[in-house]
């Protein structure tokens, strides 16, 4: 793991005119930013690493999962998760054992969360 970054295999990446080097149009994307308790960063990193790795490895609908640490605030992290569909996220991901483990960790280590859901668009 690089300094503060966990990344899953980019199985869903494409080289098309729609999104060069990105995910195909229609991909369901979660953008989340969390603030972590200062005394719980290592626990946070272990928990999110497990969720990210298991998501990419065990969920066919998970196209990628990246966790980044903010330069200006080392207790702030952002997730970029890409799924083949909303159902792949809501049913397969949120219904998984690794997500349940992550949710239990997050309850103890995360102070605040901001979430946005988006869909990849085709570029003209």
Which residue would you say has higher pLDDT here, 49 or 24? 49
Strand, coil or helix: 1? coil
Kindly report, residue by residue over 80-100, the tens digit of the pLDDT. 999 999 999 999 999 999 999
Give the chain's radius of gyration (CA, Å): 14
- Cα angle at 10 between 32 and 29, to 5 degrees? 30
Rounded to whole angstroms, the Cα distance separating 116 from 9 reads 22
Q: Which helix (H) or strand (E) holds 113?
A: strand 110-119
Per DSSP bridges, beta strands 110-119 and 62-69 are unpaired
Which residue would you say has higher pLDDT here, 119 or 22? 119
Q: Return the pLDDT at 19.
A: 61
**If one looks up domain 6-119 in CATH, what number appears?**
3.30.70.100
Domain ranges of the chain: 6-119
């Amino acid at each position: 793991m690089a300094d503060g970054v966990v990344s899953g295999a980019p199985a869903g990446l494409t080289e098309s005119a729609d999104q060069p080097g990105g995910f195909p149009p229609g991909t369901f994307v979660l953008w989340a930013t969390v603030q972590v308790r200062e005394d719980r960063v290592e626990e946070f990193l272990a928990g999110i690493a497990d969720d990210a790795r298991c998501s990419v490895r065990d969920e066919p609908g998970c196209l990628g999962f990246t966790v980044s640490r903010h330069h200006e605030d080392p207790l702030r992290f952002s997730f970029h998760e890409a799924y083949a569909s909303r159902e792949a996220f809501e049913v397969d991901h949120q219904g998984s054992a690794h997500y349940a483990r992550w949710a239990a960790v997050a309850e103890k280590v995360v102070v605040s969360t901001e979430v946005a859901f988006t869909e990849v668009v085709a570029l003209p």
